[in-house]
Amino acid sequence: MDLYEYQGKELFRRVGIPVSDGRLAETPEEARRAAEEIGGPVVVKAQVMTGGRGKAGGVKLADDPADAEAKAKNILGLDINGHVVRRLWIESASDIAKEYYLSVTFDRGAKKPLFMFTTQGGVEIEQVAQENPDALIRLHVDPSEGFQPWVARRLVYGAGVEDPGEQKQIAAIVEKLYRAFVEFDAMLCEINPLIVTPDGEVRALDSKFTVDDNALYTHPDIAEMRDTAAADPLETFAREKGVTYVKLDGEVGICGNGAGLSMSTVDVVAHVGGRPANFCDLGGGGNAEGVVDALEVITRDPQVKSIFFNIFGGITRCDEVARGILEALERLDMSTYPIVVRLDGTNAEEGRKILADAGKENIHPEATMLDGARRAVELAR
């Protein structure tokens, strides 16, 4: 789960990483009030989960509350890389002498957390890595040793930070960032820019924070930060129903059991010239109720023209899936959807018989995955 800048900064604040005083605003009036409370010049920042907000006009300095209101009016509703701005973060403006970059993420190849630090911050890190690779210091942390103070020193000296005051502050921030990374089960903690003020104070001016979804249940306070309004409404509905679902942009609704089979089904539909409307995994247990839930999610997508059930029964029993499909036909209005069903594995015979006996015109049995995919694509046209 990705966090907004202001949420990441809240977590930074909790571990003691210095950030500017700020307030959230959703209207120009709220932005004005926030600026009044903060006092002095502020910066008005679009809260969208994409980088490059500055370049896109989503970050603006404002001299006073009236100016903050005007800037907020301009930024709210802006489309930044496909993300519409609905929230603003208003924070006390900083004077900037230098912009550095600091992050910690997982290096899956090395199976270790990886720190990256450079004094060439403020721009995108990929650009630094390409144009000036020597300026980017990379350092792994051995998770069995845990964080050691030398890691911070090596980053700071390696990047050529000479001022002792800066060295000390950055080293402390490196250690705290690692603590945030571990404590909050992050996949990425990035500060770009990490600024030095003209007075020599070091502070996080931006935050990019990704928390491991699989650890969210241990952090209910972070789980609550999820912005359901900005998320895809279908995916939100699916999450509420407990259905594993990813929206895609085609016409063939797909339902498999197991992530591997479901992904293969997406591939096969694409292979025979169709466009999958979604990825949907019934999971290992796939009971009738789960099938009804999955179909309720899939049929909420207006792009869906046909549905392809591709079931290989192991723990999942094909008769149970067949019952679920019929149950869904009873409970949901699905008469307009051709449903192609391929059942194989545990109780496949029984499953096919249940469907055949029901005599529903819009159910099309197929024997193989490839034939099923072809049929579903045909029927979507």
Active-site annotation, residues = 101, 190
Q: Which parts of 54-73 interact with ligand GDP (CB under 6 A)?
A: 54, 59, 61
Answer with the entry of Mn ion, ligand GDP, none that 52 interacts with (C-beta below 5 to 8 A by kind).
Answer: ligand GDP
Shortest distance, position 203 Cβ to ligand GDP, whole Å: 9
Which of 28, 65, 193, 258 is the binder for ligand GDP (CB under 6 A)?
A: 193
Q: Is 18 in the site for ligand GDP (CB under 6 A)?
A: no
Residues of this chain, 158-217, that bind Mn ion according to CB under 5 A: 192, 206
Q: For ligand GDP, which stretch binds (CB under 6 A), given 92-100, 143-151, 152-160, 169-177? A: 92-100
Look at the alpha carbons of 340, 345, 349, 351 in this order and tell me if their dihedral is positive or negative. negative
**Touching ligand GDP, residues 114-133 (CB under 6 A):** 122
- 203-242 footprint of ligand GDP as x/- string (CB under 6 A): --xx------------------------------------
Query: Would you count residue 93 as binding ligand GDP (CB under 6 A)?
Result: yes
Contact at 8 Å (CB) between 363 and 325? Answer: yes
345 near ligand GDP, judged by CB under 6 A: no
Would you count residue 96 as binding ligand GDP (CB under 6 A)?
Answer: yes
Query: How many amino acids of this chain bind ligand GDP (CB under 6 A)?
Result: 17
- Token code pair at residue 353: 């018989």
Which is closer to ligand GDP, CB of 48 or CB of 339? Answer: 48
Which residues contact ligand GDP by CB under 6 A? Answer: 43, 45, 51-54, 59, 61, 93-94, 96, 99, 122, 192-193, 205-206
